[in-house]
Amino acid sequence: MAKFWWTCLFLMTTLVGSFAEDAKPSADEVGFVPLFNGKNLDEFEGDKGLWKLVNGTIVGDSPGIKQNEFLSTKKNFEDFELRLEFKLHGGKGNSGIQFRSKRDPKSSEVSGYQADMGEKYWGCLYDEHRRNKILAQAPPALEAALKKDDWNTYVIRAEGGHIVLKINDVTTVDYREPDPEIARSGMIAVQVHSGGPLKVEFRNLRIKELKPLTKPTK
C-alpha cells in the first residue's frame, strides 16, 4: 500500500510540475501583459454599439458608416511593443491599429500613427488625421505571408522615434520619425473605417512597456 501512495504522489508532483511549466510564458513573452481584462470593454472608449466583445475577441461590425470609428484605450503609452492577432473578414474594407494617438474633440476621428490593414495598405504606416499620408510602405514580400481572410499576427514596436511593424513575422516598416514635434506618447485604438459594411476582429492583445510614460500626449 505504501508503494501505491508513493507512486500516486510521484505522479501528482510530476503533473503539477508539468502544468507549472506550461503556465510559464515563453522567454519571448516575458514582460507582456494583456491590454485589457478580456471580460468587458470598460477599459476602452468608443461606440459600444459598433464594437463588442465576443469570447475575449474585440469585434468591430459595421453596417456601413460615414465617419471612421475607433475603440481606444483610456491609458496612454509611450515606448512599447504591442502584439496581437487580427482578421479582416473577406480581406475587404480597411482597418488598423492606432498608437501614440489622440482623439479629435470635434469628431469621431483619431489622429496619430496607424499600423494599417486593408487592400493597398496592408502593413503600411499611415499618419491618420494628422499628416494624412503613408509614411512607409510594406515590401512585396508581405503578399506571400498575408492571410487576407484569416487570422494574422501584428507586432508594433515604438521606441523613441523608431517604429517597427511586422505582420506574420515579416517586417513591413522600419521607420525613424524625422519630426521631433510629433507626439511620442498617446493612446492605442482599433479602427472601423468609413464606407461600406465590414467586419474586423482583434484578439490576444498584449503589451510590454519599454519605459513608463514620462510626458503627456501633445
91-109 pLDDT per residue, tens? 999 999 999 999 999 999 9
Cα separation, 22 vs 26, whole angstroms: 9
Helix (H) or strand (E) holding 4: helix 2-23
Cα separation, 206 vs 84, whole angstroms: 6
Q: What local confidence, expressed as pLDDT, does residue 181 receive?
A: 96
Residue 139: half-sphere exposure toward Cβ, Cα within 13 Å:
12
Q: What local confidence, expressed as pLDDT, does residue 9 receive?
A: 47
Q: What local confidence, expressed as pLDDT, does residue 26 receive?
A: 84
44 forms beta bridges with: 73
Q: Per-residue confidence at 14, pLDDT binned at 50, 70, 90?
A: low
Q: Look at strands 187-192 and 51-54 and give their pairing.
A: unpaired
Average of pLDDT values for 11-33?
Answer: 67
pLDDT > 50? residue 218: no
- C-alpha dihedral, 90 to 92 to 98 to 103, nearest 10°: -120
Cα separation, 138 vs 120, whole angstroms: 9
pTM above 0.75, yes or no: yes
CATH code of the domain occupying 31-211? 2.60.120.560
Only one residue has cell 495598405, namely: 121
Note the pLDDT tens digit of each residue in 177-206: 999 999 999 999 999 999 999 999 999 999
Only one residue has cell 506571400, namely: 144
Q: What local confidence, expressed as pLDDT, does residue 132 receive?
A: 96
Task: Supply 173's cell numbers.
Answer: 516598416
Q: E-strand spans in 46-197?
A: 51-54, 57-62, 69-73, 79-88, 94-103, 110-118, 125-128, 133-136, 152-159, 162-167, 170-176, 187-192
Cα separation, 130 vs 182, whole angstroms: 10
Task: Supply 49's cell numbers.
Answer: 454599439
Note the pLDDT tens digit of each residue in 100-139: 999 999 999 999 999 999 999 999 999 999 999 999 999 9
Q: Are 35 and 53 in contact (CB under 8 A)?
A: no
Task: Supply 88's cell numbers.
Answer: 479582416
In angstroms, how far apart are the furthest CA atoms of the chain? 77
Task: Supply 114's cell numbers.
Answer: 496607424
Q: Are 202 and 52 in contact (CB under 8 A)?
A: no
